[in-house]
Amino acid sequence: MASPASLPQYKSDFISACRAGNVLTFGTYTLKSGRISPYFFNAGLLHRADLVRAISLAYAHTLAAEPDLKFDVLFGPAYKGIPIAAATTLGLALVDEKRFGQISYSFNRKEAKDHGEGGIIVGAPLKDKRVVIIDDVMTAGTAMREAIDITEKQGGTLVGIVVAFDRMEKVPSPTDDDGIPRPSTIGEFRKEFKVPVLSILTLDDVSKSLAGMGSETELRRLEEYREKYRASD
């Protein structure tokens, strides 16, 4: 296993912040899929000022690390994506104002407004813009498909997706322990929409971090879980 030094500094900093804020914890957790996971990533706890700063800069560095990704607007789907989009827009300006100083953000209303400016989009219009959709995680992908549909109907062009964490797990099935290889949800989106799907952290990153800290018990359980549910992509 590689040491934490092999991780970019922004990843190491974000892992440290998540562990300190109990966003990333280790134990025994039953997921919505029914899988018993040795770790849990709870993006809902990223509400404290220092953690908002940490995640905004981590998202910004993740996007900045893709020199070929050109975009105009960060679109944050309601509701969790709204503060993420706003915070990351600021983070981008702090990381590289020359490159990202003119980036805008927008989000959708759950119900269309028929007075004032009207419509379902708040913030930057998406029409004729290159759009990156930003959210916390992608599980089944239902919410992300809705966001892509909104982007297209508003005349925007999807050029990328970015989330906080990629569990790198194969999609669940009725016979989940069948040992049959399957792609992850993120892998399916990359193949279907043919755009970059980025994440601040992956399960591999967490594994490297644990190895560097000498957390042998946590690392062993993580590796056993990963081997059982590893995605084929």
Q: Which residues are tagged catalytic?
A: 113, 115
Identify which of 44, 9, 39, 5 has the alpha carbon closest to the alpha carbon of residue 24.
39
> Could you tell me the strand order of the sheet in which 197-202 lies?
119-123, 104-113, 73-76, 130-134, 157-166, 197-202
Gap between the Cα atoms of 5 and 15, Å rounded = 13
Q: Is 119 left (phi over 0), alpha (psi -120 to 50) or beta?
A: left
Nearest-CA neighbor of 61 among 23, 17, 108?
A: 17
